Amino acid sequence: MKSLSRLFAITKKEVRQLRRDRLTFGMIVGIPVIQMLLFGYAINTDVRNLRTAVADQANTHLSRQFIDDLVHTQVVDIIERVETPGQLEELLRVGEISVGVAIPPDFDRRVVDPDRAAVHLLVDGSDPTISGVARQLRSMPVRFDIGDDVRRAENIAVRPYYNPERRMPVNVIPGLMAIILMMTMTMFTGVAIVRERERGNLELLINTPVNSAELMVGKIIPYIAIGMLQLALILIVGDFLFRVPLRGSVIDLYLAATAFIAASLALGLLVSTLARTQFQAMQMTIFLILPSILLSGFVFPFDGMPTFAQHLGEILPVTHFIRLTRGIMLRDAALAELALDLYFLIGFALVAMTAAALRFTKRLD
């Protein structure tokens, strides 16, 4: 009986404290509701509207008919028309499109030739699900208005670029790299300021001549080095164990990573100025990590998400870094070709850093 009443005393105390921690209480409601709403709508393996470009070198009645049929499947969304297959490859490499449709000049003759494919689909194999989806197009019922006696199979040849063997690690590791960096970087700095506030160090520090910017930047510099080290580890393990290629320049990758690490650290610092306790900082970080995994294109292709989810994904630094890593590592894209994503990361780092420094006033009230 005594043990039971002591047990209830503990439970009661726990509930009482939990109720007073408003952020935790908010998380209890917020995590399931917000995340369910977000991901319930956003997560969609039935991918549609893949960004697609067409090089129709035949430009016949038949080829135009084929393109119409392709559009009607809703799997592809034709955003650009180019002249040559070479241009398609270029668009694919810089990540502007996920699928390229190459229709050769002798399309009409190929359609009736059982030995040659009539259409080539150039597919971005650096995204795990896209090549799978594109392969489904191969079995698309193609309605050519010619006699039924002609063969139907293999009119469409799929050419997965960048990962022809379709090995999963090649697809996963560049994205995983971004997730790992984001998790560690944001978590490290997320607790950085709060820890000092909890231990009382902050009251001492803000009474010294050190200013907010010095304090913030000084705190993140060691973590940038740690991020670099983690990146090297991931690349080495990826190369040795999983034979993940690094086709682009290692310098480009490191430049992109520097911007991303800075953005993640700045985000962590911002969390640190918003949270009152280390526990709250951890909760906020977790709240950020979930969308970073699910909305960034790491697991589900970006094109498959509804527009509002895509907008949310665009705000996350990790989305842009995944584009950069896949581009540089798998598609041999140059950093200059992916400049927009790099600029976003730099901008994000600056904005988050400024917000953190502004929020962190050297006062206690």
Under DSSP, is residue 196 helix (H, G, I), strand (E, B) or coil? Answer: helix
Cβ at position 277, least distance to another protein in Å: 16
Cβ at position 199, least distance to another protein in Å: 7
Stretch that binds another protein, among 43-51, 208-216, 220-228, 236-244 (CB under 8 A): 208-216
What burial class does residue 223 get, using C-beta atoms within 10 Å of its C-beta: 0-12 exposed, 13-18 middle, 19+ buried? buried
Please, which of residues 97-126 interact with another protein by CB under 8 A? none
Residue 276 near another protein by CB under 8 A: no
Cβ at position 196, least distance to another protein in Å: 9
Q: Concatenated DSSP letters for 67-117?
A: HHHHHHTSSEEEEEEESSHHHHHHHHHTTS-SEEEEE-TTHHHHHT-TTS-
Which residues make Cβ contacts (< 8 Å) with residue 98, sequence separation at least 6?
50, 51, 52, 92, 123, 124, 127, 130, 134, 301, 303
Size of the site for another protein (CB under 8 A): 17
Cα–Cα distance between 168 and 120 in angstroms, integer? 23
- Comparing CB distances to another protein, the nearer of 199 and 243 is 199
Task: List the x/- string, 177-206, binding to another protein by CB under 8 A.
Answer: ----------------------xxxxxxxx
Strand partners, 56: 103
- The beta strands (E) that lie in the chain are given as 50-56, 76-82, 99-103, 119-124, 156-161
Q: Which two tokens stand for residue 118?
A: 């009539």
The residue assigned the tokens 């297959």 is 85
- Comparing CB distances to another protein, the nearer of 6 and 276 is 276
Cα–Cα distance between 309 and 39 in angstroms, integer? 9
DSSP letter assigned to residue 149: T
DSSP letter assigned to residue 60: -
Among 207, 240, 307, 336, binds another protein (CB under 8 A): 207
Cβ at position 13, least distance to another protein in Å: 24
Q: How far is CA 66 from the centre of its chain?
A: 33
Please, which of residues 209-228 interact with another protein by CB under 8 A? 209-211
Cβ at position 17, least distance to another protein in Å: 21
- Comparing CB distances to another protein, the nearer of 74 and 361 is 361
- Comparing CB distances to another protein, the nearer of 202 and 266 is 202
- Comparing CB distances to another protein, the nearer of 16 and 363 is 363
Among 3, 5, 208, 307, binds another protein (CB under 8 A): 208
- The beta strands (E) that lie in 206-281 are given as none
Strand partners, 122: 100, 159
Cβ at position 203, least distance to another protein in Å: 5
Pairing type for strands 119-124 and 99-103 reads antiparallel
Cβ at position 363, least distance to another protein in Å: 6
Cβ at position 177, least distance to another protein in Å: 31
Stretch that binds another protein, among 87-95, 128-136, 178-186, 356-364 (CB under 8 A): 356-364
Binding stretches for another protein (CB under 8 A): 199-211, 362-365
